[in-house]
Structure 1
Amino acid sequence: MGCSFSGLNALYDAVNGGEDVWINENRYRILRQLGEGGFAFVFLVQQVASDSSSSVGKKLRDPSLISDDGRYAIKKVVIQSDEQLQLVKEEIRVSGLFSHANLLPLIDHAIIAVKAMQGGWNHEAYLLFPVHLDGTLLDNANSLKAKKEFFSTLDVLQIFRQLCAGLKHMHSFDPPYAHNDVKPGNVLITHRKRDPPLAILMDFGSARPARKEIRSRSEALQLQEWAAEHCSAPFRAPELWDCPSHADIDERTDIWSLGCTLYATMYGVSPFEFVVGESGSLQLAIVNAQIKWPPGPNPPYPEALHQFITWTLQPQAAVRPRIDDIIFHVDKLISKFT
């Protein structure tokens, strides 16, 4: 799907007012807002039937992405600089690389030019995705926490296993890609009657080739600055907080974030947010890999699960496990606790 810069391929009027959005040849009616953050807004939309023969289905490589009820999610990004425009184009490009059941697919997209209030032109991007209305893993964990409830051990492991599968797909590229922002807020959950929840990793705005050679102090500082902007602090690997002047960064930054996400699935908070009250510094807690365990369910989560998390949170990236090691051991845990 190519980007369109035609103003005709846009909104009729205000995107917040229940109006219609065009993405290429397809028309969608905004039903309600699902979320927002930074310069992005996410809306639940309904495809509007067209008299023409064109349809979203004809544009998809995978027909399974066609919504049975015509509902989708649209992410609107307000672009106010050339740098933001390039970031959105890169997100679109990277999203198109992946095809996996546990990674959110980009169905269609358009980038349009819009007149700025002060004159001149800005851009807006519209990205079309399948919709998942049961919320994020963060939403679900917070809901359980408010009721003093917890995911079962098996659901925790099954959710985690699906995230591992999605990351393995990304890490298997040549060169490997890192997601760089694995966290509960970027995991969509769909509840199923007789199966564990479906978990889908989303938001590839920070995804980049994973491997980077750092050979100077200036390169290390540039990486830290990039990470501070693109990688959520409570889930950010130690080497992205305090990068040595000579280091080989790789996809194991995601393994750290994955371990933090597993902990947060269990307890509703990242491990280092839990201990930061004592150390006073999130960075210090992360660099020192300070891990403590909150009061858990009754009976509590098994010690084997705690040991597994500790193993993923090795502060030295060189000894941190890779995704294949993680999958091997989580499969053993699933077999043990099924």
Structure 2
Amino acid sequence: MNALGLSMIVKMGCICTRESLNINGIKYVVKERQGEGGFSTVDLIENKGTKRKYALKRILCHSLEDQKVAMEEISYCKKIRHPNIIELVDSTFKGSADIVVNATSEAFLVLPYYRRGTLHDYLTLRSFNKNYLDLREILRLFTDICQAVKYLHDFSPEPLAHRDLKVGNVCLNDDMVPVLMDLGSCAPARVQVCGAQDAQKLQDLAAERCSMTYRAPELFHVESYCVIDQRTDIWSLGCVLFALCYFKSPYDFVYEKGDSVNLAVISGTVHFPEETPFDEDVHDLILFMLKVNPAERPFIDNVLERSRHLQNKIEAVV
């Protein structure tokens, strides 16, 4: 190799060099970076032996508290078994987080790879030409997502809430079946808030972990003495159904205009497009879930019942 060629490799980096990982005795090679979030990154990896592709979620932990949160996510992934919720293939920790400055650990979660990407990706592509989904397809996707949520809300010994339901956290498999992912925000559904300190802690956690344009009103301003329950997810489901119809959450549109999402959510403002292929039944189902007062919001069984009623109504007309 001549000096110029060596110089170019030094400057640009050898593109043929890929990171290798050993996770519990199985060797993987990192193919490419798929995404980055505030707390984690996701890479496409390949099993060196089988050549099968997976998604690798890496969570960098800067403290024992970070490490505890990552361990809780792994624990939930191991316990939860449902066809519409992502499965954990393997996991491990490397390093050790402690109070020593710059001491970090990293959690590795090996997950199935979905080549179709997320529901957000799918809706974004369709939005370019306002290529609306057929209502039967919308309700099929929505009821499958609701089945995943029902599994969490009915979980034993303690009901769980996902707390970050959004179209970006739903993958699509090869058969276009939705698979709920990212259990990093998953937590016991029922939270008793006793005092201003508890309220502020939950509010700060929601600001970190729950996407603003899908976040329930009671998580924007947590009252000092209240009970938060699984109906935070029902609000998010209302935003998901709106996005299935119109490609984005109703509060994504608010955010894009530069208006206050906080005020729009607290006031319960929902604007439907004037030109729409969907009738009042669909809008009523969305508004059924987007009740500002959580006590007026339905539980998941009520949402599923109403969704199936609408499905049956459509099938009867065809």
Distance 1:243 1:119, change over 3 A: closer
Structure-2 residue corresponding to 1:254: 233
1:205 is displaced (CA, Å) by: 0.4
| 1:52-131 map, 5 Å | 70-113=52-95, 121-131=103-113
Q: In 2, distance between residues paired with 1:313 and 1:120?
A: 44
The verdict on how the C-alpha distance between 1:24 and 1:178 changes in structure 2, with shifts beyond 3 A counting, is: same
Residue of structure 2 in register with 1:335 after alignment = 312
Distance 1:175 1:146 in 2: 42
SS of the residue corresponding to residue 226 of structure 1 reads: helix
Q: Pairwise mapping of residues 130-169 of structure 1 onto structure 2 (< 5 A)?
A: 130-169=112-151
Query: Which range is displaced more, 88-97 or 306-315?
Result: 88-97
Match of 2:273 in 1: 294
How many angstroms apart in 2 are the aligned matches of 1:121 and 1:226? Answer: 23
The alpha-carbon distance between structure 1 residues 78 and 244, as it changes in their structure 2 partners (threshold 3 A), is closer
Q: What CA distance in whole angstroms lies between the structure 2 residues aligned with 1:277 and 1:143?
A: 18
Whole-angstrom distance in 2 between the partners of 1:36 and 1:109: 19
Assess if the C-alpha contact under 8 Å between 1:157 and 1:330 holds in 2: yes
The amino acid that maps onto 1:304 is D
User: Is 1:184 the counterpart of 2:184 in the alignment?
Assistant: no
- Counterpart in the other structure of 2:4: none
SS of 1:34 mapped into structure 2:
strand
CA contact (8 A) 2:254 2:260 kept: no
AA aligned opposite 1:223: L
Q: CA RMSD for the aligned pairs?
A: 2.3
2:123 maps to a residue whose letter is: A
Seen in structure 2, the aligned counterparts of structure 1 residues 19 and 282 have a Cα distance that, compared at 3 Å, is same
Q: Determine the C-alpha separation between the residues in 2 that align with 1:245 and 1:114.
A: 36
> How far did residue 82 of structure 1 move?
2.3
For normalisation by structure 2, the TM-score amounts to: 0.87
- Kindly state the Cα deviation for residue 151 of structure 1 after the two structures are TM-superposed: 1.5
Q: Provide the C-alpha distance between the structure 2 equivalents of 1:29 and 1:296, rounded to a whole number of angstroms.
A: 49
Identity value in percent? 34
Unpaired segments ≥5 residues, structure 2: 1-13
Q: TM-score, normalised by structure 1?
A: 0.82
**Number of the residue aligned with 2:9:** none
1:335–1:107 distance in 2 versus 1, CA, 3 Å: same
Structure 1 gaps, min length 5 = 1-13, 51-68
State the Cα distance separating 1:79 from its structure 2 match.
2.4
Q: Which residues of 2 match residues 261-276 of structure 1 at below 5 A? A: 261-275=240-254
